[in-house]
Amino acid sequence: MEPVRSLHDLLDLQDVDIQIDRLIDQRQSLPELDDYRSTHEATVRIAADRDRTETHLRETALAIDKTSGELEINRRKAEAEEMRLYAGGLSARDADYLRREVELLKGRVAAMEDEVLELMEVREEIETELARLESELEIETNRKAELDSGIREAWRTIDAEIAVKERRKAETVPLVDDDLIELYESLRETHDGRVVGALTNGVCGVCHLILSSAEENEARREDPPRCIHCRSILVP
């Protein structure tokens, strides 16, 4: 294989690889990805708040049922004891005891009625909060779905471009000498960006430093030519 032609093909291969790298970087750094992550975190947080609120609502509903049941029992007992008191036929001592018992039961009933009302107010507040959380969760879930759709569409477009570049690369690689490919890949593993550059008017196309005539001759004597400054592969 003609060495200079192989070097020029290597330069073309590098351009394709750089384009592929840029597309991959673009794929991984879409602005929508940050929005998606933030939205996902929001949905997880809101869903957790919603679940805790639902649990609180169930516990409050059970407390209302329990207190209401106890209230009804005490109300009926107070009514029954009061009927006994009004029916008469009791000794003064028994009547006085029963009167205090009725008052105690009525006080307990009043306290339970207040407790039930407070619990019902709490339930209403929880229901309002739950509705707000469900609304927020729906908004964030829809936003997440929209972002997901947009990201997938962008990825499809980028992947199609990468596929085109990969085909171009597959066509170019066989044109380059195997030893050059090995050196090129080794340099790419340890250097970011370009590792192959044109040598134009004594200037390295990678580090852009000027090579003196002696340095240029020294670089050209290497196989392949290498910049004495940055050690990139030079294409005369």
pLDDT, residue 176, reads: 95
At 38, the pLDDT band (50, 70, 90 cuts) reads very high
At 226, the pLDDT band (50, 70, 90 cuts) reads very high
pTM score of the predicted model: 0.72
Among the listed ranges 30-39, 97-106, 113-122, 177-186, which one has the minimum average pLDDT value? Answer: 97-106
Work out whether strand 233-235 and strand 203-204 pair parallel, antiparallel, or are unpaired: unpaired
pLDDT digits (tens, 9 = 90+) for 123-182: 999 999 999 999 999 999 999 999 999 999 999 999 999 999 999 999 999 999 999 999
Judge whether residue 62 has pLDDT over 90: yes
Torsion of CA 213, 218, 223, 229, to 10 degrees: -90
Judge whether residue 71 has pLDDT over 70: yes
92-172 helix and 3-28 helix, angle to the nearest 10 degrees: 170
In this structure, the chain runs to a length of: 236
Higher-confidence position of 14 and 105: 14
Judge whether residue 2 has pLDDT over 60: no
Cβ–Cβ < 8 Å for 176, 58: no
232: left (phi over 0), alpha (psi -120 to 50) or beta: beta
Q: Which domains does the chain have, with CATH numbers?
A: 28-158 (1.10.287.1700)
User: For 177, phi and psi rounded to 5 degrees?
Assistant: -60, 140
